[in-house]
Structure 1
Amino acid sequence: MKIFFTSALMLAATRLAVAQQPGPPPTPERPVTDVYFGRSVVDKYRWLEDTKNPEVLAWFKAQGDYAAHTLDQLPGRDSLINTFMRYDRLKPERYSEIKKRGTRYFYRKTLPAETVGKIYMREGETGPEMLLFDPVAYDKTKTYSVTAFTPSNNGQRLVVGLQEGGAELSTLRILTVATKALLPESIVAVSGGGVDWLPTDTGFVYTPNNSTDPKDPRGNLNTKARLHQLNTAAAADAELFSRAKNPAFNIRPDEYPFVYFSDDHTQVYGGLGSVDNRQHVWVAAPADLSKPVIPWKRLVAPTDSVYSYLKLGTSLYLYSVKQAPKGRILVTSALNPQPATATVLLPEGQLNITSIASSKDYLFVTLNDGINDHIRQYDPRTKQWADVPLPFSGTAYVQPLDAPRSNACLVGLTTWKQPATLYNYNPDTKQLSASKFEVKAAYPGLDDLVVEEVEVPSHDGALVPLSLIYRKGLKKDGQAVCFMDGYGAYGISAVPYFSPRYLAMLNQGVIVAETHPRGGSEKGQKWYRAGYQTTKPNTWKDFIACGDYLVKNGYTSPSHLIGMGTSAGGILIGRAITERPDLFAAAISNVSCSNALRMENSPNGPVNVPEFGSVKDPVQCQALYEMDAFQHVKPGTKYPAVLCVGGMNDPRVIVWQPGKLAAALQAASTSGKPVLMQVNYDNGHFTEDKKVTFRNFANMYAFALWQAGHPNFQPSAVAAK
């Protein structure tokens, strides 16, 4: 007769087995002291920032190998990968990024057996399908995926952005649809692959980086918006908008100049991209692009607090948060825009405005009640508002397919337990119908899921929304494993969405908790600004409050609670475990901002100063110190098990950010729990490649579930007879 240990004993035995293995590679301490406005700060691992140094590369390789060896032993890891693959196969095909030009539909389609999508075209919604571009066949010696594709206005050509290894810097190629032949020119180092075609379709505007190396700190500083004419060398592309060409505009080196056209091609906009959501834009006539000096005129300034804008007919519609934290819609003349005196078309209300869009004749406004979206449409001809009928509540979007030539739209909907569903929408009749691009899938376990929305009092009494998803029949005895995620930055809200990866955990009895901390926009711009720069501590304190709530109310316990933060969410998870190490069994610090004081010294650091602050400012520098998880690691502390993840090709959060945190925790923790540094060499900040993505998330989830005591992730060797 077999007798199995309890999960607590299994976990103890597993940790003992790991402890008996050689520990992670040692990290020499080479202290460097910086003085920030009178405060001395010691950095023991500054040397890890030199990612061109062979010693540093060897350290990351050794750490990655050690992490892989440990993760490969977890029995539930491969089962998770298989589950991800099985759920992926439930949809026979996936369509995304559907774009219409005249009668032609262009889209990305991915089959279950494919790791990345291919680009296709149909004549009409139900016409025969034509394969236009296969990134795998493009160069079989390399691993490419399509970052973006943009059809010309007449649908005769296609600009395709290609990336390798998740580096996010694209190479642009131009394809002729009729022949599928590529034009000879190739344009490198375009971030995201974004372009906009000229009205004549004889070329396009784009903004390249200054370097093909995603880790080059000069790559995205002083960039220049350019014009490419077809069948010409990229080296000859004219400079349209930049700090050098427009000195009177006081463009900062970190601001990203872009140029694009209004939907009707009667105006061209020159703007400055930034993590600051407030638009900074000038306007000119398309014909002016051929002039040596383009006569740009101011459209909106940051002081106008305009988050987005669009031209519809002769009017310019503005989504503004000025004196309206939840947003309002303004309208002014497109020929002579005056944001300061614009007419209020839709005043601020109880719902947060989140986006605007337009088709040939209609303006669409998406609003959110904190959880669910609502879409309204406005007809400038009748000056009437109407609701877009949504079949169920959740996260929704409206996508005009071919503005301004058509009113054809797609509407998408999803929730925590409802897979994304796609509809055709006719704003003239206000009717939804099944889209030919909608592919249904029956996922197991959905009918057994419960969604609970609560609000949790934080440290200062603010009520923090918390979304809980779990299986029916949950016993609130503190024994359930809970996976709690959080972000809270840039005003990005954690909206409901269906995740097959989450479902893989939910169907094993795990509670999924999605937090909505300050720094997002769930409660409008005040909520965002309450987790920003000097108020950033609210972000991780809100996350901690959610964890305390889950423990107090019996959903889980500290020995079963997992915390995760990704990218800017690395601030949240890093400071949560350094402030409350006792609250968590395990933490995942994924491609994480972990060393805030040194972010400006990373390739993507300067462009993020408007969001987090600068060490050159005494007040902001103190705020950055508070955000810095690496600097708050204290020797002799019992930290939870931690998996840090970094991508060697990551252009957004350089790999040494999570690397330094891993080194500090390995040296400081006295809990005996593992601290691993997973290094991805085939991934950047993320990747489309399903094979890589499935492995990456299975590693993260398996590690955390192992350390949180889930029985399916404990080595079978602890079973006894």
Structure 2
Amino acid sequence: MKTAFLFLMLPELLAAPVALAQTTSAGPPATPQRPVTDVYFGKKVVDNYRWLEDVNSPEVKTCFQAQADYTKRTLDQLPGRDSLIKTFEAYDKLLTVRYGQVKKRGSRYFYRKTLPSETVGKLYVREGKTGPEKLLFDPTAYDKTKTYSMTAYTPSPDGQQVALGLQEGGAELSTVRVLNVATRAFRPESISAVFGGDISWLPDGSGFLYTPNNSTDPKDPKGNLDTKARLHRLGTAVATDRELWSRAKNPDMGMRPDQYPIMAFTNDQTLVYGVLASVDRRADVWLTTPADLAKPIIAWKHLVTPTDSVYDFAKLGSNIYLHSVKGAPKGRILVTDAARPSPANATVLLPEGTGNITRLLATKDYVFVVLSDGINEKVRQYDPRTQQWANVPMPGTGTAGLEPYNATTSNEIFTYVSTWSRPETVYDYTPESRKMVVSPFDMQARYPGTDDLVVEELEVPGHDGVLVPLSLIYKKGLRKDGNAVCFMTGYAAYGISATPYFSRRNLALLNQGVILAETHPRGGSEKGQAWYRAGYQTTKPNTWKDFISCGEYLVKNKYTSPQHLIGEGTSAGGILIGRAITERPDLFAAAISNVSCSNALRMENSPNGPVNTPEFGTVKDSVQCMGLYEMDAFQHVKPGTKYPAVLCVGGMNDPRVIVWQPGKFAAALQAASTSGKPVLLQVNYDNGHFTEDKKVTFRNFANMYAFALWQAGHPNFQPKSVAAK
């Protein structure tokens, strides 16, 4: 189902962090306080930095630039920062080629390929899986005056054309261009402001379905509201593209302004489905026929409503398979007639079991289900022709990756297992024979230190006695004396689980003796739907309290200590880290608040805020509003508090979390903290929520890590020329 929304050995004793040179001793630029008082259902709330929300104001631009300049000067002085960048680059070079997004159309295999010397991937094609490759598109050569990368790409069903999403400066709102495979020439049309560049081709390749934003500006407050699904026919002017589905065109369908009407074809291309997409995992899906696309008014019929609690679906033959959590918190698979779909009367194909269903997908002849014990996943396949289930012989335990080469015409799957400590091997899986062979697209490299890594999977008591999963990765020989630096991270939102993955950036920390702690707080789905709902809206405090409990466990058991504990949260994980340090500032030496939702009460006033109300709540509801206040880190900053060192990161091109969210949090902490520890705001002008560009990414993460390791006392990151604090 397609949806869119705006996701060295350490010495025994560690040195204490020391002050930087005179250039930063005066502290960051002061941000003026201009109080604004709001009243939410009788509760008065003061906002001292409301004026920072006007990001187009020259004064605000100057303020953010001054913060960015100060932060750059500070971070540029940190020893170890540039060494981290060099380590990232060295590890990157060990993988001689990286393949991704492999797709088959006809006899052609399309794929993204990135060499160590390249900052972004290029698009290639082969005739046959092992045939000679041909470069189709190089985004760095598209316009030498700008910095482009390729987001999504989608080949036409016959493999003759490719729709490309082109991203400039890390912005996820892409421009869609269509490339002729034979000539490598672009067609004249250009469609702007398509999130990720995502489209769905018509079966005959004559055009495609897409849903653009209303603006190319990620800061436009109306950019995400009342969007419209459209049909583009190749060779016609974009301005004449027909509006197929929208709140204005279909006023009787109960569409909300914040929902994205996304249209696409089912795998077998016999039906068109429409998803009213938001962050609500419960799908709202409608069906129609391809013939109806030509009619002035489309005859839609409901497949599932949010009250059906269906997370995903797949069509195969005459049936539709549903991943439902209604009455089954760990999930079950239902099957219903595609001609007369009825979730209420569907047959139970796979009942709820001990494993949590994390994914449902289909190929030409098979249905696949991924089940998880919270950390490790297994895969089962179902053959409707024999009505038999079978286990897929996955090559190891960890996170199971499954990507069909072409779900319409083939059963072959690109598959792998990802773990915390080992890079994955990529296989080609044939369900008919249940055989796996190493894929021609396998990506192998041997990285230093992986043989010395230890993985511990623990469950630690939460604040209310509930056991919280905690994954630890560290080098052999760890001394549990409280002296090791620990980098503890968490997300816990939207029901997204923290499943095992191998990261070369993490390896750079591990090889310097840092412990990595991946927390699994309530708000993810490690233990199913109930775990997710226990960290959602008004139950969200469990998320940061679980995170705090994990930190307390690590300190109590002497893995680390408050002087050496780093906390990190990204995006929606900004709620987790922001409230953790405002509730327990004494527990952390340093914190990274990365492109973070830090001012939840005002999130609805940002471009991507309304679409997130199903997850976090709305200020228009008295109960949900108080829940938003409770999860608002900015509003819980208290003057006169000894806060840890904090690095807040925001992206000027970020369409998901607007830059003033981390910006206001940084300003409040700078004014309130009495610890003497630095609070910095890093503003990325060449980045959005993230970017593919390796050069930008390496610098960004090296800045974050070096800051945190400096403040957590790691000896390789301490300035040597000045006295200790």
TM-score relative to the length of structure 2:
0.97
Once residues 406 and 139 of structure 2 are traced to their aligned partners in structure 1, the CA distance between those partners, rounded to angstroms, is 25
Report whether the alignment pairs 1:185 with 2:194. no
1:496 matched to which residue of 2? 500
What is the CA-CA distance between 1:409 and the residue it aligns to?
Answer: 1.1
1:321 matched to which residue of 2? 325
What is the CA-CA distance between 1:404 and the residue it aligns to?
Answer: 2.4
- Kept in 1, the 8 Å contact 2:21–2:722? The answer is no
- Kept in 1, the 8 Å contact 2:19–2:722? The answer is no
Once residues 22 and 79 of structure 2 are traced to their aligned partners in structure 1, the CA distance between those partners, rounded to angstroms, is 14
Once residues 339 and 160 of structure 2 are traced to their aligned partners in structure 1, the CA distance between those partners, rounded to angstroms, is 31
- Kept in 2, the 8 Å contact 1:105–1:125? The answer is yes
Q: Which of 268, 273, 293 lines up with 2:277 in the alignment?
A: 273
Say which SS state the counterpart of residue 578 (structure 1) adopts. Answer: helix
2:536 counterpart letter in structure 1: Y
Q: Which of 368, 371, 396 lines up with 1:367 in the alignment?
A: 371
Unaligned runs of 5+ in 1: none
What is the CA-CA distance between 1:357 and the residue it aligns to?
Answer: 1.0
Residues 60-86 of structure 1, C-alpha deviations (whole Å, 9 max, x = no match): 000000000000000100000000000
1:134 matched to which residue of 2? 138
1:344 matched to which residue of 2? 348
Report whether the alignment pairs 1:92 with 2:96. yes
- Kept in 2, the 8 Å contact 1:649–1:682? The answer is yes
Structure 1 residues 230 and 552, CA gap change in structure 2 (3 angstroms): same
Say which SS state the counterpart of residue 16 (structure 2) adopts. Answer: helix
Once residues 421 and 609 of structure 1 are traced to their aligned partners in structure 2, the CA distance between those partners, rounded to angstroms, is 39
1:241 matched to which residue of 2? 245
Say which SS state the counterpart of residue 524 (structure 2) adopts. Answer: coil
Report whether the alignment pairs 1:620 with 2:624. yes
Report whether the alignment pairs 1:37 with 2:37. no
Say which SS state the counterpart of residue 371 (structure 2) adopts. Answer: strand
Report whether the alignment pairs 1:574 with 2:586. no
Once residues 237 and 176 of structure 1 are traced to their aligned partners in structure 2, the CA distance between those partners, rounded to angstroms, is 21
Report whether the alignment pairs 1:70 with 2:81. no
What is the CA-CA distance between 1:6 and the residue it aligns to?
Answer: 10
Report whether the alignment pairs 1:250 with 2:254. yes
Q: Which of 675, 678, 689 lines up with 2:679 in the alignment?
A: 675
Residues 622-648 of structure 1, C-alpha deviations (whole Å, 9 max, x = no match): 000000000000000000000000001
Say which SS state the counterpart of residue 686 (structure 1) adopts. Answer: coil
Structure 1 residues 7 and 27, CA gap change in structure 2 (3 angstroms): farther
1:11 counterpart letter in structure 2: A
Report whether the alignment pairs 1:196 with 2:200. yes
Q: Which of 131, 148, 168 lines up with 2:152 in the alignment?
A: 148
Once residues 403 and 567 of structure 1 are traced to their aligned partners in structure 2, the CA distance between those partners, rounded to angstroms, is 32
1:11 matched to which residue of 2? 16
2:4 matched to which residue of 1? none
Structure 1 residues 94 and 6, CA gap change in structure 2 (3 angstroms): closer
1:423 counterpart letter in structure 2: Y
Say which SS state the counterpart of residue 65 (structure 1) adopts. Answer: helix
Say which SS state the counterpart of residue 466 (structure 1) adopts. Answer: strand
Unaligned runs of 5+ in 2: 1-10
Report whether the alignment pairs 1:438 with 2:419. no
1:225 matched to which residue of 2? 229
Say which SS state the counterpart of residue 642 (structure 1) adopts. Answer: strand
- Kept in 1, the 8 Å contact 2:395–2:416? The answer is no
Structure 1 residues 329 and 211, CA gap change in structure 2 (3 angstroms): same
What is the CA-CA distance between 1:431 and the residue it aligns to?
Answer: 0.4
Say which SS state the counterpart of residue 279 (structure 1) adopts. Answer: coil
What is the CA-CA distance between 1:359 and the residue it aligns to?
Answer: 1.2
Pairing 1:512-527 to 2, within 5 Å after superposition: 512-527=516-531
1:599 matched to which residue of 2? 603
What is the CA-CA distance between 1:20 and the residue it aligns to?
Answer: 6.7
What is the CA-CA distance between 1:16 and the residue it aligns to?
Answer: 6.6
- Kept in 1, the 8 Å contact 2:269–2:408? The answer is no
1:53 counterpart letter in structure 2: S
Report whether the alignment pairs 1:52 with 2:45. no
1:357 counterpart letter in structure 2: L
1:450 matched to which residue of 2? 454
What is the CA-CA distance between 1:453 and the residue it aligns to?
Answer: 0.4
2:484 counterpart letter in structure 1: A
1:207 matched to which residue of 2? 211
Once residues 11 and 59 of structure 1 are traced to their aligned partners in structure 2, the CA distance between those partners, rounded to angstroms, is 32
2:688 matched to which residue of 1? 684
What is the CA-CA distance between 1:18 and the residue it aligns to?
Answer: 6.5
Cα RMSD, aligned residues only? 1.3
Once residues 421 and 218 of structure 1 are traced to their aligned partners in structure 2, the CA distance between those partners, rounded to angstroms, is 44
1:23 counterpart letter in structure 2: G
Once residues 330 and 435 of structure 1 are traced to their aligned partners in structure 2, the CA distance between those partners, rounded to angstroms, is 33
Pairing 1:560-571 to 2, within 5 Å after superposition: 560-571=564-575
Once residues 33 and 269 of structure 2 are traced to their aligned partners in structure 1, the CA distance between those partners, rounded to angstroms, is 58
1:126 counterpart letter in structure 2: T
Q: Which of 311, 319, 326 lines up with 1:307 in the alignment?
A: 311
- Kept in 1, the 8 Å contact 2:24–2:74? The answer is no
- Kept in 2, the 8 Å contact 1:7–1:709? The answer is no
Residues 344-364 of structure 1, C-alpha deviations (whole Å, 9 max, x = no match): 000000000011111111110
- Kept in 1, the 8 Å contact 2:178–2:187? The answer is yes
- Kept in 1, the 8 Å contact 2:13–2:483? The answer is no
Say which SS state the counterpart of residue 64 (structure 2) adopts. Answer: helix
1:655 matched to which residue of 2? 659
What is the CA-CA distance between 1:335 and the residue it aligns to?
Answer: 1.0
1:389 matched to which residue of 2? 393
Structure 1 residues 239 and 16, CA gap change in structure 2 (3 angstroms): closer
2:7 matched to which residue of 1? none
- Kept in 2, the 8 Å contact 1:364–1:398? The answer is no
Say which SS state the counterpart of residue 520 (structure 1) adopts. Answer: coil
Once residues 253 and 527 of structure 1 are traced to their aligned partners in structure 2, the CA distance between those partners, rounded to angstroms, is 29
Identity among equivalent positions (%) equals 73
Q: Which of 366, 383, 386 lines up with 1:379 in the alignment?
A: 383
Is the deviation greater in 643-652 or in 404-413?
404-413
1:514 counterpart letter in structure 2: E
1:109 matched to which residue of 2? 113
Once residues 673 and 16 of structure 1 are traced to their aligned partners in structure 2, the CA distance between those partners, rounded to angstroms, is 11
- Kept in 1, the 8 Å contact 2:648–2:682? The answer is yes
What is the CA-CA distance between 1:11 and the residue it aligns to?
Answer: 2.9
1:509 counterpart letter in structure 2: G
Once residues 41 and 306 of structure 2 are traced to their aligned partners in structure 1, the CA distance between those partners, rounded to angstroms, is 29
- Kept in 2, the 8 Å contact 1:19–1:672? The answer is no
2:36 counterpart letter in structure 1: V
Report whether the alignment pairs 1:354 with 2:358. yes
Once residues 352 and 391 of structure 2 are traced to their aligned partners in structure 1, the CA distance between those partners, rounded to angstroms, is 17
What is the CA-CA distance between 1:413 and the residue it aligns to?
Answer: 1.2
Say which SS state the counterpart of residue 461 (structure 1) adopts. Answer: coil
